[in-house]
Amino acid sequence: MSRQCPNCGRRMDSSWRHCPYCAREQQASKDKSAAAKPAAMEAPMAEPRERQHTRVQHDGAPSLNRKTEVYPGVEPAAVPQGDNRRIVGVMISYTWDQVGELYPVRQGRTHIGSGEIRGESRPADVCCPQDTELSADHAMILVQGANFFIQDLSSLNGTALNGTQIRPELPEPLPSPAEIKVGETTFAFVRFDVVPGAPVARPPETPKAVVRPSTVLPR
């Protein structure tokens, strides 16, 4: 005997529990929806701000156990341009790192602080953000030709040169070597006395002694 499907109206065998015609149409509808999803997902990817980055994390487990986390896109940070000014000295500090942190001192201005330089959208040349007693733009080393100066930029806690507080906003001659203390950070400063373009003097080489073989006279 046969009976009629209540959904599509087609004839069905009495032994069928489900209508194969309806099941086929339902599966075709699912396949059509799945094929349309990738095309819909491509539209947001066209905008740079909507990009997504996928990071795969695993701890040595099989690939089936890896987890993929999707994060909103982040604009890449601007790459800072290189400073082509001549290096004329160095500052080294052991306050925050037992190994030591080395900072170059360049011709012109070298700003010391914990944040950005006033009036400029860039961090201090010698930046110590971990020092809570250090002002954002605390002090400055000024190099003009062969003359070195240090100036406190009206900082909150002042600047000490070789253990003596210097007056704010007044350039003081900077000797070498010298100890500079700003906030809780202490630096050792050393200048380089190298004339631009002049050859570097090298110690004279000691001539090697010439060893001659001994002469044996016949008897």
The answer to whether 179 and 187 have CB atoms below 8 angstroms apart is: yes
pLDDT digits (tens, 9 = 90+) for 1-19: 666 777 777 776 666 677 7
Strand 164-165 and strand 101-106: the pairing is unpaired
Q: Give the chain as a 3 state SS string.
A: CEEECCCCCCEEECCCCCCHHHHHHHHHHHHHHHHHHHHHHHHHHCCHHHCEEEEEECCCCCHHHCEEEEEECCCCCCCCCCCCCCEEEEEEECCCCCCCEEEEEECEEEEEECCECCCCCCECCEECCCCCCCCCCCEEEEEECCEEEEEECCCCCCEEECCEECCECCCEECCCCEEEEECCEEEEEEECCCCCCCCCCCCCCCCCCCCCCCCCCCC
How many Å apart are CA 136 and CA 127, to the nearest integer? 9
The pTM assigned to this predicted structure is 0.54
Higher pLDDT, 29 or 87: 87
The residues, any chain, with a CB within 8 Å of residue 164's CB and separated by 6 or more, are none
Percent of the chain with pLDDT over 90: 47
Of 11-20, 134-143, 190-199, give the range with the top mean pLDDT.
134-143
Percent of the chain with pLDDT over 70: 62
Is it the case that residue 75 has pLDDT exceeding 90? no
Residues in the chain: 219
Stretch 140-152: mean pLDDT = 95
Per-residue model confidence (pLDDT) at position 136: 95
Per-residue model confidence (pLDDT) at position 83: 79
pLDDT digits (tens, 9 = 90+) for 26-72: 777 777 776 666 555 554 554 544 444 445 444 554 444 444 444 44
Higher pLDDT, 139 or 217: 139
Q: Which domains does the chain have, with CATH numbers?
A: 87-191 (2.60.200.20)
